[in-house]
Amino acid sequence: MRILRQGHLRSIGPPVSVLLLLLILWEGGVRVTGVEKWLLPAPSDILRSLAADMPLLLRHTGPTLTEASLGFAAGIAAGWFLAMLMELSPWLKRGLYPLLVGTQTIPIIAVAPLFILWFGYDLLPKVLIVALVTFFPVVVSTADGLRSADPDMVRLLRSMGASSWQIFRMVRFPHALPAFFSGLKIAATYSVLGAVIAEWLGANVGLGVFLVRAQHSFAADRVFVAILAITFWTWLLFFLIRLLERIAVPWKQTRDRHPVK
């Protein structure tokens, strides 16, 4: 199975070219204007800092990835379970859906200190914070996917004597997978960031701690190194989910390549 096709490689070309152009302009602008390194380092300075700080960066990366992975898994499990409950009970959906939307209006930076107060400074509050910021896209997209199942198919299977479980397994679950993975991709972009925010409020190690210490030291090159690390791991998680989606939902890829006209 060829994951990287020629068309995909061609699609990478334009953004890479634009990024290289921006980096060249950034490097040249810093050199020409002579701006101080503590204010805006050049890309070459950031790369040198990345190479020099790699051992320290790796030591801070492990805890952040642990928090992000565990919280992401918990958010997926909670989101899927809640979506299933809302699909089985329309009354429960009418009661829970507005509350779920309401939770997203509360800034996570305001809730995180409460978790630290209730659960301490160990791993648990950070995992809960990541789960809190990742479960909403999963539950909403999964619930929409389960509801989008073809009603004619459902009626046909019921007329043939299929049970609710068989209808779920053969119709609702496959129809929900594309929406479920769309929610996962959105949640993936929040997971590492959620872990970093949790570390800002109470941790001794992690990319969030590395970022705060660099900021307090006016080490702008290290701040950019932390941003690069957070971006890299977020992108990698997003890519792994896309790869898993290609394996689990092959019919979606075929439909995208050959849309019905």
Q: Are residues 10 and 124 in the same domain?
A: no
Q: Are residues 22 and 46 in the same domain?
A: no
Say which residue the tokens 């890479």 belong to: 16
Looking at the whole model, is its pTM more than 0.85? no
Give the pLDDT of residue 256.
55
End-to-end CA distance of the chain: 26
- Residue 206's region, left for phi above 0, alpha for psi from -120 to 50, else beta, is left
Q: Are residues 120 and 230 in the same domain?
A: yes
CA distance 204 to 36: 30
* DSSP calls for 86-123: HHH-HHHHHHHHHHHHHHTTS-HHHHHHHHHHHHTTSH
CATH of the domain at 123: 1.10.3720.10
Count of the separate structural domains present in the chain: 2
Q: What is the per-residue pLDDT across 187-244, written as a single tens digit (0 to 9) for each?
A: 998 899 889 988 887 778 889 899 999 888 888 889 999 999 999 999 999 999 999 9
Token output for 154: 């459902």
CA distance 243 to 233: 15
CA angle (161 as vertex; 157, 165 as ends), nearest 5: 70
pLDDT tops 90 at residue 65 = yes
Q: Are residues 15 and 59 in the same domain?
A: no
pLDDT tops 50 at residue 3 = no
Q: Are residues 25 and 44 in the same domain?
A: no
The percent of residues above 70 in pLDDT, for the chain, comes to 91
Q: How far is CA 171 from CA 29, 90, 152, 231, 250, in A?
A: 57, 19, 10, 37, 16
Domain hosting residue 5, numbered range: 1-34
Q: Are residues 49 and 144 in the same domain?
A: yes
CA distance 6 to 8: 5
pLDDT tops 80 at residue 5 = no
